[in-house]
Amino acid sequence: MERTFIAVKPDGVQRGLVGTILKKFEEKGYKLVGLKLLQVSQELAQTHYGEHKGKPFFDGLVKFITSGPVVAFVVEGNDVVVTARKMIGATKPSDSAIGTIRGDYGVDIGRNIIHGSDSPESAEREISLWFKPEELTEWTPTISTWIYE
């Protein structure tokens, strides 16, 4: 089973979209294994977005992601990394299909509601950056046999 890291960014939290977003992942059939609300530090923001350091939007991105609480969570399931990215939509909301999270709720690339890991390697890195091992819970949903053959 694969895991991915998802974060509802400060705009998503401020707009009251946390429940809506969590519901989409729950209804899809993914298992929630970690969840928290936190104020992101400068250090965490810069490390998380390290690949974008030096780009023109980097400072604004760090300022934005540290501007208010973020809801971070980890979901588990078959092919969850790639499927979560499909559920999230393209980086630029105007390129995101209607029905995706960014396509339905986002307008501006700098306020695109949600983050999702872009590969299994990024997911591992981001999960260990945002969560301590003891903050992730192993459990078996009773509905598992109705989601997996």
Which residues are known to be catalytic? 115
Residue 116 CB, nearest approach to ligand IDP (Å): 7
Residue 146 CB, nearest approach to ligand IDP (Å): 31
Residue 119 in the binding site for ligand IDP (CB under 6 A): no
Residue 68 in the binding site for ligand IDP (CB under 6 A): no
Determine the residue with CB nearest ligand IDP.
91
Residue 115 CB, nearest approach to ligand IDP (Å): 5
CB-based contacts of 140, cutoff 8 Å, min separation 6: none
Residue 91 in the binding site for ligand IDP (CB under 6 A): yes
Please list every residue from 8 through 67 that binds ligand IDP, using CB under 6 A: 52, 57, 61
Residue 110 in the binding site for ligand IDP (CB under 6 A): yes
Query: Sheet holding 70-77: strands in order across?
Result: 31-38, 70-77, 2-8, 114-116
Site residues (CB under 5 A) for Mg ion?
118
Site residues (CB under 6 A) for ligand IDP?
52, 57, 61, 91, 109-110, 112, 115, 118
